[in-house]
Chains A and B, each alone.
Chain A
Amino acid sequence: MRKVGFIFWVLSFASSLYFSLELYDKGINLDTNFLTFISETQKYDSAKRAQELYESRNLQYAIITLSSKNKKNILNFTPILAKKFCESKSVNYCNWSSEGGSNLYSFYYPYRKYLISPGQLDYFEKTDKKIIIKKRLQEIYSPLAMTESSQLSSDPLGIMSSFFRSLLPVGGFMPDEGLLISNSGGAFHSLITLKFDMNRPGIEKEVSHLVVEAKKRLALAPEIKMNAVSGLLYFSEGAKQSTTEASTLGLLSLCLVMLLIVLVWRSALPLLATFLTVIFSSSVGFLFCYLVYSRIHIACLLMGIGLMGVVSDYCIHYFSHNTEGHYGLQKSTLRAIIKPFLLSLLTSIVGYAGFYFTGVIVLQQLAVFAVFGLLAAALTVFFLYPCLPKNRKPLTGVVVSFICGFSRFRTSMMSLSPVTGKLAVICLILGVGLLPKIRFDDDVRKLQKPNSELAKQERIIQDLTGVKRQSQYYLIEAESDQQLLQTEEHLSRLNDKRPNRAELSRLSSWIPSHSRQSLSRTGYNNLQGLVVDFYIRLGVENPKWQASRVYRENSTPKLNVKDWMNRFGHLPVADQYLGKSGKYFYSIVRVESGNFMRESELPNGVKIITRTKEVSKFFKELRSNVMLMILCLVVAALVLIALFTGYKMALEVCLAPCMGLVWSALMCFWIVGYLDLFHILGLVLVFFLSIDYSFFNSFSLPGQDDSVDIGIGVSVFTTIFSFGVLIFSQTAAIHHFGMSVLIGITVSYLFTVQRGAKF
């Protein structure tokens, strides 16, 4: 039977390892963006989906500039580099020549909208038609009216001319010798724009590789400087940093854990067993996670690999009891730890499975990873460990003596007097009393700082192109597309009244909403009639038809805004209109400068949207849920243990984990100044690990105090080595996670006193 189990284990191990390596070889789809924490599958309202749609459009672009004092360099190198970019399979569309940039408006303002302001409509409504036409004719015939006459076909009444004039000074790139070139700051700059195929797996890596390759080519001409900006580059840099950290810190922790195990057992066997357990668990966890989600988030990977600390503890507890003379038969070793092991396994599986119901994609991935990883570890404990030989000699050495000695000292200190015995309880009560002082901060921007070099390049490109990164935008929600227009009009009207007028990007449609048309005496038809008269006066052939190209196409009472916008292919306004999502229609109005409107100033149906704010709000909600979950876990553990073993035992088992939770939270708050979701996630792990120590401490077979002490002591140190090193991470989220685990585990270890201690 043991042989069958062993063969089953070997086959499972080999196949999981093979498939994991195969997957790694093909390239893992690693998600590194902390903003993607929110999943499509979770309870997610349509406004957020509309918003994501808008943002995903922005994400797929990259702007690249080449700069040199020598124009010839720019003229020579831009086509070479641009062609290389365009050849890449990850690039769907590229533009670098002046031909492609002939409509510069569409490049600079792909999302700009124009809305006739109420003031303008009022003017056309109240002013005599003849005067309007005469004045317009005077403007057109002015010897300096070059721009006015060029807009005769698209803006006959000059309604938008001031709007377009205001666009002109922005962005210095103009067609020059076949390229888009700007001459500013004493240097020449060329422009390349790329659009990526977002469906390609590992697109972030490919984009980063493209830029690196381009920079290598430019090494031939050191006087040329390249700047590139794209959301994908930020993600790629984030991934690089995270994977570098993961490999460095992982290696460091592995070395420390190995050293500890070798020093305690002076044998390669526990080390090998731990190694095999961790490899098997992590590959099974990874495979199942990838099977379900087709991608894996870096945070899940880091926390999932961290979970392997729990798994390696099983091996440590097993081997601390697996000494010749202790139990005689190897089977007995398993029997000695079976109760705490199963309790530990069950609580860990149930606890981690709970993450699945949070609705957060990363935590769902972690749940799948952990549950399958823990099951694989259980298989190893049951089928592999019993086949391994026992230690022939009892465990000795400096490390063992230190762990056992420290454990005894700890217990004796607690048992010294009734006062010291109550110390843990007093500390716990004190800590709980201080908990309300803790301040939380869920600002997602603090979790992952953008790469400074990329941010610098982005600033340079912003200065060159004049295209600022959006700082705020309004999401407009309405029950119909007509209502959508009305709300935009309302918003525009409010904005016009502001002393420092924020530059709202306006709807390029000429069409006021139907309600505005009916309210206005001039309205839509009058405006159009005015253009027909104006065209007649100018002598335009087929004036009605010409005018209808601008206005009449949309005069149907049942106007579909999206259809209308699609007809105007040269005005890329469709992007601004997000269409219907769920019950509602959405559009985005961007604020580019000026002082922004406050939430209270906005009309109904308009929300100020910032992605980070939304995610922060979501994190806050999630953190509250996880905190509630921890509380439920503690209460559930207390009740269950009390039911089977009495309340005293329940209190004894739960004391150390509670101390770890409370004091880790307090100390992290004192160190960082606030707590965030990742501190709290660390606390979840603290609870699971420390309750395991209590289980092994309280439910192992009696008479094996040293084995239990060694098991717990080594587990604590391996956990500290595995998670404590995360404190060195540059990513705040990971750093906070490591910090809360490190403090929590240390505190709970100090208060995990030997069984039978009187206090």
Chain B
Amino acid sequence: MFLSVVSSAKSNSSTSPPRPLLSVFKSVSGQFKQEKEIKRLKLTLKSYGRFEMAPGKLVWIQRAPIKGRYEVNQQEMRQTVEGQPEQVVSRQKVPELALLSDMMTCALSGDPKCLEKSFTTTEVQIKDRDNWTFTLKPKDKWIKRVLLAMKIKGGKKFVREISIIEKSGNTSVISFYNIRGR
């Protein structure tokens, strides 16, 4: 259910909501690189790995610096980290965590309808078919406590980068590459 951009807007920038993205793949996989900047410690935490996405399911396989597998589906969240037994957390038990994982899934899918549940679009920039950005502000009070804003950059078919600005001032940039859809 990975989405591609079909927008053919010509304008360089716009404040109107983005046009709906169309799902063209049943499942998508690729690689990610995450850079998290911890402001007060002047530290950048880098991690790499793969992801797999299918309807109602996101798998995050981290290769470095810690090996781990995180799976989010509609019922639960599963976490397997090297040397540790698998942890399963029900969505009902930790609704905040479920919200954050949904947010990631929605952002990665670039599905505006899904994002609109918890975010308001504040800015949309569409340079061409291969280069678009939209900036979102959380409207859900749970997410608001953690995030200030989120930026999603996309190309012709896929979301390329998700930037998260936390309330603490820390920022996370997750870049996606070698993406393949089936």
The residues of A with any CB-CB pair to B shorter than 8 Å are 134-135, 137-138, 140-144, 146-147, 149-154, 168, 172, 174, 182-183, 535, 538-541, 546
Q: Are the C-beta atoms of B141 and A141 separated by less than 8 Å?
A: no
Are A540 and B146 in touch, CB under 8 angstroms? no
Asked whether B43 lies within 8 Å of A141 as measured between CB atoms, the reply is no
B residues 3-49 near A (Cβ < 8 Å) are 34, 36, 38, 40-43, 45, 47
B131 on the interface (CB 8 Å rule)? Answer: no
Smallest beta-carbon distance A240→chain B, Å:
39
B interface residue count range (under 10 / 10 to 19 / 20 to 34 / 35 or more):
35 or more
A150 and B41 within 8 A (CB): no
Which residues from chain A contact B179 at a C-beta distance below 8 Å? Answer: none
Contact B166 A141 (CB under 8 A): no
Cβ of B173 < 8 Å from any Cβ of A? no
In whole angstroms, how far apart are the Cα atoms of A546 and B39 in the complex? 13
Q: A137-B65, A149-B38, A183-B141 are in contact. Are A144 and B81 (CB under 8 A)?
A: no
Residues of B within 8 A of A (CB): 34, 36, 38, 40-43, 45, 47, 60, 62, 65-66, 68, 70, 77, 79, 81, 83-84, 96-97, 100-101, 104, 141, 144-147, 164, 166-168, 170, 172
Among residues of A, the one whose C-beta sits closest to the C-beta of B38 is A152
Q: Is A140 in contact with B141, judged by CB distance below 8 angstroms?
A: no
A152 close to B41 (CB less than 8 A): yes
> What is the CB-to-nearest-CB distance from B103 to chain A, in angstroms, rounded to a whole number?
10
A673 to chain B, nearest CB (A): 49
Q: Which residues of B contact A182 (CB under 8 A)?
A: 141
Question: By the criterion CB–CB under 8 Å, are A138 and B166 in contact?
Answer: no
How many angstroms between the C-alpha atoms of A376 and B65 in the bound complex?
A: 90
Measured between beta carbons, the chain A residues less than 8 angstroms from B101 are: 144
Contact assessment for B141 and A538 in the assembled complex, using a CB-CB cutoff below 8 Å:
no
Q: Which chain B residue shows the least CB distance to A174?
A: B144
Q: Which residue of B lies closest to A138 (CB)?
A: B81
Asked, given contacts A134-B83, A144-B100, A150-B166, whether A174 binds B145 with beta carbons under 8 Å apart, the answer is: yes
Contacting pair B81 A541 (CB below 8 A): no
Contact for B79 among A134, A142, A154, A168, CB less than 8 A: A142
Give the residues in chain B near A138, CB-CB below 8 Å: 66, 68, 81, 84
User: When chains A and B are docked, how far (Å) is the Cα of A541 from the Cα of B167?
Assistant: 23
CB-CB under 8 A for A546 and B41, given A138-B68, A144-B101, A168-B145:
yes
CB-CB under 8 A from A142, the residues of chain B are 68, 70, 79
Q: Is A141 a contact of B66 with CB atoms below 8 Å? A: yes
Nearest 3 Cβ contacts at the A-B interface: A150-B168, A153-B40, A138-B81
Partner of B97, one of A144, A535, A539: A144
Nearest A residue to B51 by beta-carbon distance? A143
Whether B147 contacts A146 by the Cβ 8 Å rule is: yes
Q: Is the CB of A538 within 8 A of B97?
A: no
Give bound CA distance, A168 to B170, whole Å: 18
Whether B141 contacts A143 by the Cβ 8 Å rule is no
- For A152, the closest partner residue in chain B by CB is B38
Report whether B144 and A141 are in contact in the complex, using a CB–CB cutoff of 8 Å. Answer: no
Q: Is the CB of A146 within 8 A of B100?
A: yes
A contact residues around B38 at 8 Å (CB):
149-150, 152-153
Q: How far is the CB of A515 from chain B (nearest CB, A)?
A: 32
Does A149 lie within 8 Å of B170, measured CB to CB?
Answer: yes
Q: Chain B residues with Cβ under 8 A from A546's Cβ?
A: 41
Apart from A147-B146, A150-B146, list 5 A-B contacts with CB within 8 A. A137-B66, A142-B79, A143-B104, A146-B166, A149-B38
> Does A150 contact B167, Cβ atoms closer than 8 Å?
yes
Q: How far does the Cβ of B16 sit from chain A's closest Cβ, in whole Å? A: 21
A107 to chain B, nearest CB (A): 14
In the assembled complex, the Cα of A150 lies from the Cα of B170 at a distance in Å of: 7
In the complex, chain B residues whose CB is within 8 Å of the CB of A149: 36, 38, 45, 170
Q: Which residues of B contact A168 (CB under 8 A)?
A: 96, 145
- Ordered by A's residue number, 18 sampled pairs between the chains whose C-beta atoms are within 8 Å are A138-B84, A141-B45, A141-B66, A142-B70, A144-B101, A144-B104, A146-B146, A146-B147, A146-B166, A149-B36, A150-B38, A150-B168, A152-B38, A152-B41, A152-B43, A153-B40, A172-B141, A540-B41
